[in-house]
Structure formats: C-alpha cells, structure tokens
Amino acid sequence: MGSFKLGKMTFKSLFGKPETIQYPAEQKTPPPGLKGHVVNDVESCILCGICMKRCPCAAIEVDKPARTWSINRFRCVQCGTCVRECPKQCLTMEPTYTPPATEKRMDSYEVPERAKPAKKAASAEERIEWERAAQGLEER
C-alpha cells in the first residue's frame, strides 16, 4: 500500500520535453506510407474504370466519353484498393490528408487524349488492355 506511485513519471513530465506539439503552428511530418489521399497520374490513365468498380464506397467516377476521372474526397476511405487494382499503376496514395472543407466536393481530373503512336502498335496495346479488363470482369 502507498500512494504517489506515479511520482517519477509526474516529475519527468513536469521538467521534461512535452510529448505534444503546438498543432496548427507546428505540424508532424507524416510517415512516407501514410494513407492520405489518392492521386491520379492522368498521363498514363486509360479510363478503364476498374478503380470505379472495385471501390467499396463508390467514391470514384470514371466518365469515358467526357474523359474525366473524378473522386469524391469525402466518400473515399483511403483503403487503397484502387491503387492496388490499377492496371496502369497510375493511381498513388499521397501521405497528406484532404484538408477540411465546408462542403463535400468532387475532385475531377481531365484525362488528355493520348496520341496513338502507330495503328498496329496501338491496337495491340489496346487488345492487351481489353484482355486484362475482360479477365478482371470474368473474375468478378
């Protein structure tokens, strides 16, 4: 029996360096693997729509005719499924969080039309992509 068993720790925290930081003024550097927000490298995106299909919370919208790739930042749960499933590895997870906002919004990316090098090569590439997409569909 006895009291003040926490004495050592209490004195340490009285005179030691504080554990906390002065948040808005001072910010923690996020570790490299942090799941912050999804970024699309539009240069290599082929608008296949696999990310849209795999997303558990329907946050991603791929509009093929309009060539846009959009994500609802406030629906996304940062699970990373789209990043893993992307056949072109054009999606990445950046280690910074979406900043707070007053309303939910969609972030839309314009995917530029890619110049197809030669007819033959393009069709071969396309075929591979289609096969991959078809495989993905068959698995489902």
Partner 1 sequence: MTLETTFVPLTVEGLPALAAAKKADGWRFVQILAVNTEEGIDLIYSFMKGNLLENCEIKAVQKDAVVPSITDQFLEAFVFENETHDLFGVNIQGIAIDFGGNFYALAQKEPMTIISPEQKAAREKARKVAEAKAAKEKATKAAAANAAYEAGHPTPKEPGEPIVPTGDDDAELKLAGADPEKVARARAAIAAKAKKAAEAEKDAALKEKLAGMDPEKAAKVRAAMEAKAAREAAAAQKEGE
Partner 2 sequence: MGKATVIPFGPQHPVLPEPLHLDLVVEDETVIEAVPQIGFIHRGLEKLVETRDYNQFIYVAERICGICAFGHSMGYAETVERLMGVEIPERAEYLRVIWHELSRVHSHVLWMGLAADAFGYESLFMHCWRLRERVLDIFEKTTGGRVIFSVVKVGGVVRDIDDAMFAEIKRVLEGIKDDYRQLCNAFLKDSSVKNRTVGVGYISHEDALAMSMVGPFARASNVNNDARCLGNGGYGKLADFQPVMDAQGDCYARVKVRALEVLQSIDIIEEMIAKIPAGDIAVDVKGAPAAGAEEANVVEQPRGECYYYARGNGSKYLERMRMRTPTSQNLAGMATALAGCDLADVNMIVLTIDPCISCTER
Binding site for partner 2 (CB under 8 A): 1-6, 8-10, 13, 19, 30-31, 33-35, 54, 56-57, 77-81, 84, 93, 95, 139-140
Q: How far is the CB of 73 from partner 1 (least distance, A)?
A: 25
Q: Which does 112 bind (CB under 5 to 8 A by kind): partner 2, partner 1, none?
A: none
Indicate the residue among 80 and 112 with the shorter CB distance to partner 2.
Answer: 80
| CA–CA distances in Å: residue 35 to residues 71, 98, 122, 128 | 15, 11, 35, 31
Q: What is the DSSP letter of 81?
A: H
Residue 137: which of partner 1, partner 2, none does it interact with, CB under 5 to 8 A by kind? partner 1
* Element housing 126 (H / E): helix 119-139
CB neighbours (10 Å) of residue 102?
A: 5
